[in-house]
Amino acid sequence: MIDCDIHNDVPRPEALFPYLPEYWVEHITNTLFKGPTEPPYPPDAPIAARPGARPDNAPPGSNLDLLCEQALDAPRADLAILNCLYAIDSLHNPDAAIALASAVNDWQSAEWLEKDARLRASIVVPSQLPAQAAREIDRVAEQYAGFVQVLLPARSQHPYGNRLFHPLWEAAARHDLVIGIHFGGSPGNPPTPSGWPSYFFEEYAGMATVFASQVTSMVCEGVFDQFPTLRVALLESGFTWLPPHMWRFDKEWRNLRRLVPWVKQAPSEYIRRHFRLSIQPLDAPADNPRQLLQIVDQLGSEDMLMYASDYPHVHAYDPETVLLQHVPESLARKIRHDNARALYNL
Amino acid sequence: MVVTAPARETRATRTRRALIDCDFHNELDSIKDLYPYLPQRWRDHIDSYGTRGTAGGYYPRFMDHREDARPPSGRRSGSEVAHSRKDFLDPYNIAHATLIPLTAAGRQQNGDLDAALATAVNDWQVAEWLDPEPRLRASMIVPFEDPPAAVAEIKRRAHDKRFVQVQFSGRPHEPMGRRKYWPIYEACVKHGLHVMSHAFGSNGNPILGTGWASFYLEDHVGPAQAMQANVISMVAEGAFERFPTLKLVSVENGFAWVPSLMWRMDNAWTLLRSEVPHLAHEPSEYIRKHLYLTTQPVEEPHKPEFFTQLIEQYGDMVSHILFASDYPHWDSDNPDMALPSFLPERIKQMIYFDNAKALFGL
């Protein structure tokens, strides 16, 4: 089994000191910097950590032994991809964002990848600074083994198709790295076209619409026409929203494709070819496997879904009992490992 | 020998189903159409300063309104009731249509101008649309970002039962459930009006939850996402707990996304209900009770059976799907082809007529 989405976390800023230039060590010490802004999940919400996943005095996912025991040994995952959600995108000071992203990557290599051969990792980048993000991708890809994707938060100041991001796509394509777009993000601008919601419950339920906007943007701007080998994993996005989104997107493209003449096929064709989705959380109907299987069928491809536990976070359903037990064994195998193996060249 | 009317006429009138159109646009040819309904002070203001919304929120488009719907006068399509009647209401046997005027009202930086424009648009609707054409119902325009002024307009107008709903843009400044807007909902409930949100519009926020899109195509795919944020907000804030008879009508946002949204919200609620203890019921219960959606632009699934599956996912809520043409906009649906032909007749009759008749008490 391959688990496409587990989370390691920086226990406290001091853990990065061995990987930071002296200036930033001093700066962090003097300013009492506690780490980037709020984590994507409120730390004590019932969703943030499964029982026993919280080490003493540290955030869940910050202890290698505990993570390996709970996320790898017990479920018997052969490989797992670490997605460190350190909120570099919230740092408005560009030099801080660049320095901390590099430190997190050096820390991931030394303290995670080198310690357990079953782990792979995602490059943390200052996504708000695409040219500098590209430099960090080059640095990490040339220096370390074990990084299989570039991690971006779902929420962003600009949609990812925007040409500002081309240096980032170029770097990912140059090193044949997957782009992983993950739930959350702290860009400072509102997560809905109508401004800020009041509750985390709204952000959690509404994040699928943010993913939908990113998919629309990347296809419309011709990212995949310019970088035909680029692949994107939508992580912790849910997937039942995607078929209706493809239906409307295809229809609007038929009407308005003169605006984007480089988009030569229906958007759903690009989406099936270039996007993959992790299956936790399952935005599934309660007690209705038949309807969920209809949605899987509506995706129009067996190659798109990938198993994920989203350790240490908690979701409503166990994908095993709600989805995997109900699909044909050949599809279950694809979801459990083959699709991820192909995507990440594992 | 029985004399019958000419075959063509009887055939046309007998075989054509009566429809209720829940998205029928009445248009201004220019802002000056409103001058007879505006005080001199605001006519002077517009002459000097124009109307000013939040700059940079508009996506130029190469398509505007249907050229074939333009009146012989050369004025804008949809700007003359007599022509819209002849061009659309009569030939398609529209029993009723709800007017949805998309004008400068509701998105002015100058709040007093916004309120004056809303009043003028409503007066214009009464004089030039509702009075001459009894089949029409109207959406009340209010300055929804200024709830006290909006409530004043609702009170002024509430006696006229031809106004059946209060209009919001698709992207108000705050998510629609926020308490700021509750005085409007309170007035709606008191006067038997529904709340309606029509796709598009921009009130100063980027049009996506990820910033500004580049192309009008993205603007046109986006309403489904914008409306979901509003539905989530209405449920999460407890607006339907506080106003149990309030109905929310979603126009031009599609409707295929609703089942997935309900599943996601119900799952989120099982985990996070301690954050929203004011919700007594599963989110999907509120949605199934309070949310109505119009058809155009109908999502077109890749296989016919997917549409059948969608209708099955809706279950009883299929009584909340309302036919809409979007006449006379470029992407309007031809009523004859708006729904897939294979839908059961019972469902078609509900969507084309019965559901709207019940919702609006027609």
More confident residue, B248 or A38: B248
Closest CA–CA distance from residue A317 to any residue of chain B (Å): 8
Nearest CA in chain B to A204: B268
Lowest-confidence range among A264-268, B52-56, B236-240?
B52-56
Q: Does the pLDDT at position B10 exceed 80? A: no
Nearest to B299 among A212, A248, A283 (CB): A248
* Ranges of each domain in chain B: 15-360
Residue B14, pLDDT score:
58
CA distance A75 to A129: 38
Q: Mean pLDDT for chain B?
A: 94
Matching residue, tokens 């990792």? A121
A45 pLDDT band, cuts 50/70/90, is confident
Which tens digit of pLDDT belongs to each residue from A193-214? 999 999 999 999 999 999 999 9
- For the residues B182-189, what does the mean pLDDT come to? 98
Residues 6 or more apart whose CB falls under 8 angstroms from that of A62 comprise: A8, A9, A10, A11, A15, A55
* B21 within 8 A of B351, measured Cβ to Cβ: no
Q: Do A213 and B225 touch (CB under 8 A)?
A: yes
Q: What is the pLDDT of residue B55?
A: 76
Beta strand ranges found along A109-196 (DSSP E): 119-124, 147-153, 178-182
State residue A159's pLDDT score.
Answer: 98
- CATH architecture, domain defined by B15-360: Alpha-Beta Barrel (3.20)
| pLDDT per position as a tens digit, A121-162 | 999 999 999 999 999 999 999 999 999 999 999 999 999 999
Could you give the CA distance from residue A343 to residue A335 in angstroms, rounded to a whole number?
12
Name the percent of chain B lying above pLDDT 70: 96
Query: Which of B210, B269, B302 is facing A159, going by the closest CB pair?
Result: B210
Q: Which residues pair with A6 in a beta bridge?
A: A82, A311
Asked if the model's pLDDT at residue B4 lies above 70, the reply is no
- Whether residue A200 and residue B265 make contact (CB cut-off 8 A), yes or no, is no
Q: Is the confidence at residue B13, as pLDDT, over 70? A: no
Closest C-alpha to A205, from B250, B177, B288, B261: B261
Per-domain boundaries in chain A: 2-344
More confident residue, B202 or A187: A187
What is the amino acid identity at position A102? S
Output the CA torsion sign for B291, B297, B302, B307. Answer: positive
Query: What pLDDT, on the 0 to 100 scale, is given for residue B269?
Result: 96
With bands split at pLDDT 50, 70 and 90, how would you rate the model's confidence at B57? confident
Give the residue-averaged pLDDT of A240-268: 97
Q: Which of B174, B182, B221 has the highest number of chain A CBs within 10 A, making it the mutation to test binding with A?
A: B221
Residue type, A186: S
For B139, B159, B160, B178, B360, the CA distances from B188, given in Å and listed in that order, are: 12, 12, 13, 16, 13
B2 pLDDT above the threshold of 60: no
DSSP H helical ranges for A92-150:
94-108, 130-143
The answer, yes or no, to whether residue B12 has pLDDT greater than 60, is no
> For A313-340, what is each residue's pLDDT tens digit?
988 888 999 999 999 999 999 999 999 9
Domain A2-344 part of CATH 3.30.70.1170: no
- Please check whether residue A155 is in contact with residue A186, taking contact to mean a CB–CB distance below 8 angstroms: yes
Q: How would you class A286 by CB atoms within 10 Å of its CB: exposed for 0-12, middle for 13-18, buried for 19 or more? A: middle
Q: How would you list the strands of the sheet with A178-182, edge to edge?
A: A2-6, A79-82, A119-124, A147-153, A178-182, A232-235, A275-278, A305-306
* Residue B9 pLDDT greater than 50, yes or no: no
Q: What is the full DSSP assignment across B268-297?
A: HHHHHTTT-TT--S-HHHHHHHHEEEE-SS
Report residue A6 as tokens.
Answer: 């587990």
